[in-house]
Structure 1
């Protein structure tokens, strides 16, 4: 097992720079997730680690080795792609062992490694089948098994669950978490789905436009985001953001009937705009007359998502438990724990602390 270190890693395509001097350390045995919106550079960064994209500047180390300009096959990594890329004419067993066969590994050793990976991934009953006779989740497990048999120092996953339906995504997410626990190998995982990031990661790297916005554990990013982007990206449903106005000792929120939220953070001068962030999970509703109205209610069984519109035109989402007897169009009052509100600079979007 080994860790991965990026030192001022840069990627350019001609005159266009897409990765901007990334510094990152992924510890030995850590499960690290790159997350961010489409086009943020997360897959490019993963491919740079794999050697599938040339690093324009900076260094990449895997363990003590500088692999910046090393061939992909010599880096000691195995990559699982979004598409399964299985050979349709080969059985599961043949697909999993093909890479070892091409490297001249003894047949007995190939069988030993394939059997070991098959046992971990619960594929013993499917070894004689061909990909066409497998479900999407089973095919992805075969693709993961093909990587396991190589015994890599680092596993790289590039959005491996995006082609699966919702139920299979949950199942495979659990399988990958179990696999990491069993193998203890360093894993780097790319996704745009922050739920996958929150549930799988030891460490999350939030990317935007080729820059790292913040690095930390899932709950650190959820509870203590550095800026508005991270606060809005981590957590589902997304954090509510409302316009506020700085006052002495607090922030007035026009969307909430000019309610003043007291705070001890360093605010700009009175009268300046401040963005107020409140998570849907930290808010409650009561059916009391106010200027807020319940537009849409999404019932999900144990919880419901209530969509509100303020007189200012701003939208809010409130997560409520159970099934409150409220109809759409009802006037409602919002309450929340003021100590859990967050404040952001209206221009830079940096967190005010």
Structure 2
């Protein structure tokens, strides 16, 4: 197995630059997730690792070898796509063995690799079926199995669960996590779904507009974001953001009902800042008067109240157990100062 290293990699299409000098190291056996909004460059960067997109500038290394100008077949990678890309006229067994048969591998070796892949993915009962007789989750497992039998140094996943329904997505997330545990291979996974990123990754790379915003373990990014973009992207529902002004060593935040005292070194008096507060770090005070309940979402053990301040700013607060708010209520919120995040209004960087 092998790690991946990128050195100042750049991608241009003509005069348009879409990847801007990415430096990144992915350790041997690590599960790394590229996450970000649509158009941020995550799939392009993955395809550059695979060799499906040329690297305009910089260097790409896999397992200590520079592969920047090598063809995809020479890089030791296998890619699982959003679409299953299975041959409809072939059985599961034939789909999984096709690449090996075309490259002249011995039948005994092919049989051994298929047996191991089907054991890992629990496909033994489907080997003689064709794709049309399989569910979406089973087809994606066949696609992953086809990658496993190649014995790649690095597995690349390009939004492999986006075509599945909600229940199958959860099931396949577990399957992919189990696969990584079983074979210990280096895996790079692209998704726009931060829940997938949080539950699967050893390391998350948050991308925006072709640049890395932050790299770290899932909970590190959640608890210690570097900027407003990462704070808002990691976490569901997203972090609340409201405006405030530094006054007398504290921050006046009308949406939060007055003055708050974040435990950070604040900028100069009169400076406008952004205050961040996660939904689970606040509680509703039904006796307050500063916020109006616009919508409530009851999900069972957890509910979410969507609130609006008199200035029109929006807040989401998580409620557990018995719901204490209802549509049209006027309420306030309570929270601990150490749960507040402060961001510069212009640069959106975190003030610590």
Q: TM-score, normalised by structure 1?
A: 0.98
Residue of structure 1 in register with 2:23 after alignment = 23
Q: CA deviation at 1:295?
A: 1.0
Per the alignment, residue 209 of structure 1 pairs with 209
What is the alpha-carbon distance in structure 1 between the residues aligned to residue 270 and residue 304 of structure 2?
33
Aligned partners of 2:44, 2:231: CA distance in 1, in Å? 24
Q: Is the 8 A contact 2:263 2:338 kept in 1?
A: no
Name the SS for the 1:144 alignment partner: helix
Once the 2 structures are TM-superposed, how far is the Cα of residue 108 of structure 1 from its aligned partner? 1.8
Question: Which residue of structure 1 lines up, in the alignment, with residue 249 of structure 2?
Answer: 249
How far the C-alpha of 1:286 sits from its partner, in A, is 2.4
Shift of 1:263: 3.1
Aligned to 1:198: 198
What CA deviation, in whole Å up to 9, does each residue of 1:94-122 have, x standing for no partner? 10111101111111211111111000000
Deviation readout 1:249-268 (Å, 9 max, x if unpaired)? 2211011222x221342322
Cα distance between partner residues in 1 of 2:208 and 2:106: 46
Q: Distance in 2 between the 1:251 and 1:217 partners?
A: 31
Aligned twin of 1:239: 239
Equivalences for 1:313-328 in 2 at 5 Å? Answer: 313-328=312-327
Partner in structure 2 of residue 288 of structure 1: 287
CA-to-aligned-CA distance 1:227-253 (integer Å, 9 cap, x gap): 000000000100000001112322110
1:330 equivalent in structure 2: 329
1:13-42 deviation digits (Å, cap 9, x = unpaired): 001100000000000000000000000000
The Cα of 1:293 is off from its aligned counterpart by 1.2
Tell me, what secondary structure is at the counterpart of 2:213? strand
Per the alignment, residue 122 of structure 2 pairs with 122
* Partner secondary structure for residue 160 of structure 1: coil
Using the TM superposition, give the Cα deviation of residue 294 of structure 1 relative to its aligned residue in structure 2, in angstroms: 1.0
SS in 2 for 1:93: helix
Q: 2:324 & 2:203 partners in 1: Cα distance?
A: 40
After superposition, give the CA deviation of every residue in 1:134-160 in whole Å (9 maximum; x if it has no partner). 000000000000000000000000000
Distance 1:250 1:325 in 2: 30
Question: Which runs of no fewer than 5 residues in structure 2 stay unpaired?
Answer: none
- Over the aligned positions, Cα root-mean-square deviation in angstroms equals 0.8
Give the whole-Å Cα distance in 2 for the aligned partners of 1:289 and 1:215.
40
Matched residues in 2 for 1:193 and 1:213: separation?
A: 16
How many corresponding residue pairs? 352
| d(CA) in 1 for partners of 2:37, 2:217 | 19
Conserved? CA contact 1:249–1:264, under 8 Å: no
